[in-house]
Amino acid sequence: MKIKLITTAAIAIALAGCSGNKEKEATADAGPVKREAGSWKTDIKLLKVVIPGMPAGMEAQMQKALPQGMEVCLTPEQAAKEDIAAEMSKSSQAGDCTFSKRDFAGGKLDVAGKCKTPQGEMDITMTGTVEPTKTDIVMNMKGKAPTGNGDMEMSMQMVSNNVGACKPS
């Protein structure tokens, strides 16, 4: 149950912090990198799970619980308004996370911070790319294990692709 809570929280942080947002480029010439409107398909893959006392087979169960092939329609209006920096500020203001690094230059994402969990603070990093038709982000989390016996570490990769026009609802 506690491990499922961490997995769910990690997905929520990744989706809130990355999916549906834009990245700011440092150069004024190129302007901001914006995702194109359309249907965005996202797959999330567990790369690493180290949790002391984790039962055998739990990593496979966690992978099965992650969304695969989730599609979200990004309208032209939403694409025009995307702002990852603003979303991260909202998260900081809500008291959930504080960010010590927020770099969104040159099509790259490089973020570091701390987020509050029921077990205490968790160190979070997100690195990857944000392009008009694809995002590829790796998120690493380190903190106290939900089992109460040591520290845990988890890494996951979230890849989103624009797969065409939004489907009528």
Q: What is the pTM of this model?
A: 0.76
Mean pLDDT across 84-100: 70
Backbone φ, ψ for residue 139 (5° rounding): -115, 130
Average pLDDT along the chain: 79
pLDDT tens across 152-169, in order?
A: 999 999 999 999 999 887
State residue 91's pLDDT score: 60
State residue 95's pLDDT score: 63
pLDDT tens across 10-29, in order?
A: 444 444 433 333 333 333 33
Q: E strands, the chain, where?
A: 38-50, 68-74, 97-103, 108-117, 120-130, 134-144, 151-162
Tell me the pLDDT band of 8, cut-offs 50, 70 and 90.
very low
Residue found by looking up tokens 């996202």 in the block: 42
Q: Is pLDDT of 4 > 70?
A: no
- Percentage helix, strand, coil, to 5, in the chain? 25, 45, 35
pLDDT tens across 124-140, in order?
A: 999 999 899 999 999 99
Q: Is pLDDT of 38 > 50?
A: yes
pLDDT tens across 41-68, in order?
A: 999 999 999 988 888 888 889 988 888 8
Q: Which residue has the higher pLDDT, 38 or 30?
A: 38
